[in-house]
């Protein structure tokens, strides 16, 4: 029997790089964020669905989304609320800005220590950086086990979690103790839709900063504490200032290049066994495989 769980889902607001127009890149090769809509990182949605399924199975389970970004990243926490989470924390501070994966995972780990979850579920990677580093780095910093490339959290029994991983050559089922970190693949079930009642309930959920930006006569629905989205700055998490944001980021972007793959020596094969055997022979001979 598993009691209720405390889950933290790591999620990131990213520019939608899937529908890239002509103005997606600036002249200096950096991403033109203004031209791309900000979305919930797709694999983080797969992660969120895994969390919601655990909540469905184990009543009393709570889900918090943890995200780092500018004020508008509060949208990510609202998106979670619209789908069934219980709340979230927005890490936002000028001092967090400019973070590479090292500084990001440091900030997240500091916040997670305060949140004390049983499980952290994150998307495998974000579509803007494609590093797949943040989840594993968070687990290393916390000293917790990690399972990457997860497709399904199959079961939790006591303090043992069983997870199906999707790998290039097939699937693998592994177990781990709790607390731990899971990163989820896009092959996992897609996230459920927003729920109409949840949207009506939580559309007014706001961070303190957002409320301050509203007109003076704005009143949030009275007596509804659940409509406050928690905002933490550097001062709210215990950490060393030099390890946050740009200061804590050793990564330097030297140059961004647009790589176009070009097939030079294209060869067309038929589906006949003989052709395929020849190709295999060739690939083994030149050590492409084997």
Partner 1 sequence: MSNFFTDNKDLQFQLSHPLMKKIIEFKEKGFIDKDKFDYAPVDFEDALDSYHKVLEIVGDICANVIAPNAESVDQEGPQVINGHVKYARGTQKNHDTLAQAGLYGMSLPREYGGLNLSMVPYVMAAELVARGDAGFANIWGLQDCAETIHEFASKEIKDEYLPRINKGATCSMDLTEPDAGSDLQAVMLKATWDEKQNIWLLNGVKRFITNGDADIKLVLARSEEGTTDARGLSYFVYDKSHDCVKVRRIENKLGIKGSPTCELVFTNAPAKLVGDRKMGLIKYVMSLMNGARLGVSAQSVGLSEAAYREAVKYANERTQFGKAIIKFPAVYEMLSQIKAKLQASRALLYETSRFVDVYKAYNLVAEDRKLTPEERTELKEYQKLADIFTPLSKLFSSEYANQNAYDSLQVHGGSGFMKDYPIERMYRDARILNIYEGTSQLQVVAAIRGVTTGTYLAQIRKYEQTNVKPEHDYLKKQLIAMTNDYEKAVEDVHKANDNEYTDFHARRLVEMAGHIIMGYLLLIDAQRDDDFSGSAEIFVKLGAAWNSERYSYIMDFEQDDLGRFKAVMEESYE
Residues that bind partner 1 (CB under 8 A): 39, 192-201, 203, 221, 224
Minimum Å distance from CB 37 to partner 1? 8
Q: List CB contacts of 93: < 8 A, sequence separation 6 or more.
A: 232, 233, 234, 235, 244, 245
Beta carbon nearer to partner 1, 6 or 201: 201
Beta carbon nearer to partner 1, 52 or 110: 52
Minimum Å distance from CB 48 to partner 1? 13
For residue 229, CA distances in Å to 34, 38, 64, 240 come to 25, 19, 10, 25
Minimum Å distance from CB 220 to partner 1? 11
Length of the chain measured in residues = 290
Beta carbon nearer to partner 1, 26 or 204: 204
Extract the tokens encoding 153: 């959290």
Beta carbon nearer to partner 1, 223 or 250: 223
Beta carbon nearer to partner 1, 82 or 232: 82
Extract the tokens encoding 24: 């997606």
Minimum Å distance from CB 82 to partner 1? 9
Sign of the CA dihedral running 198, 204, 208, 213: positive
Angle of helix 101-115 relative to helix 134-142, nearest 10 degrees, comes to 50
Cβ-contact 146, 164 below 8 angstroms: no
Minimum Å distance from CB 197 to partner 1? 5
Extract the tokens encoding 2: 């598993």
Extract the tokens encoding 76: 């990510």
Q: What's the rounded Cα separation, in Å, for the pair 136 and 198?
A: 32
Minimum Å distance from CB 199 to partner 1? 5
Beta carbon nearer to partner 1, 114 or 204: 204
Cβ-contact 117, 62 below 8 angstroms: no
Beta carbon nearer to partner 1, 166 or 201: 201
Cα-based angle 118, 84, 176 (whole degrees, multiple of 5): 25
SS3 274: helix
Minimum Å distance from CB 80 to partner 1? 15
Look up residue 28 and give its DSSP letter. Answer: T
């Amino acid at each position: 029997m598993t009691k209720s769980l405390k889950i933290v889902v790591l999620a990131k607001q990213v520019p939608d790089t899937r529908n890239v127009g002509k103005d997606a890149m600036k002249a200096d090769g950096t991403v033109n964020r203004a031209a791309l809509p900000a979305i919930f990182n797709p694999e983080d949605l797969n992660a969120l669905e895994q969390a919601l399924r655990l909540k469905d199975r184990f009543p009393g389970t709570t889900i918090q989304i943890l995200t780092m970004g500018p004020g508008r990243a509060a949208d990510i926490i609202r998106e979670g609320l619209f789908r069934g989470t219980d709340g979230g924390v927005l890490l936002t501070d000028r001092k967090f800005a400019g973070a590479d994966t090292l500084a990001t995972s440091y900030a997240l780990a500091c916040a997670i220590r305060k949140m004390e979850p049983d499980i952290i579920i994150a998307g495998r990677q974000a579509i803007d950086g494609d590093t797949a580093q943040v989840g594993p780095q968070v687990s290393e910093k916390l000293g917790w086990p990690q399972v990457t490339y997860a497709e399904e959290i199959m079961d939790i029994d006591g303090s043992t979690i069983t997870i199906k991983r999707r790998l290039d050559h097939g699937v693998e089922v592994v177990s781990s103790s709790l607390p731990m970190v899971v990163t989820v693949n896009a092959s996992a079930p897609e996230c459920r839709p927003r729920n109409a009642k949840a949207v009506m309930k939580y559309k007014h959920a706001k961070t303190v900063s957002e409320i301050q930006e509203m007109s003076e006569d704005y009143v949030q629905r009275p007596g509804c504490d659940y409509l406050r989205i928690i905002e933490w700055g550097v001062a709210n998490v215990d950490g060393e200032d030099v390890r946050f944001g740009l200061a804590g980021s050793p990564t330097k972007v030297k140059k961004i290049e647009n790589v176009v793959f070009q097939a030079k020596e294209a060869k067309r094969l038929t589906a006949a066994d003989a052709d395929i055997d020849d190709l295999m022979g060739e690939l083994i001979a030149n050590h492409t495989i084997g």
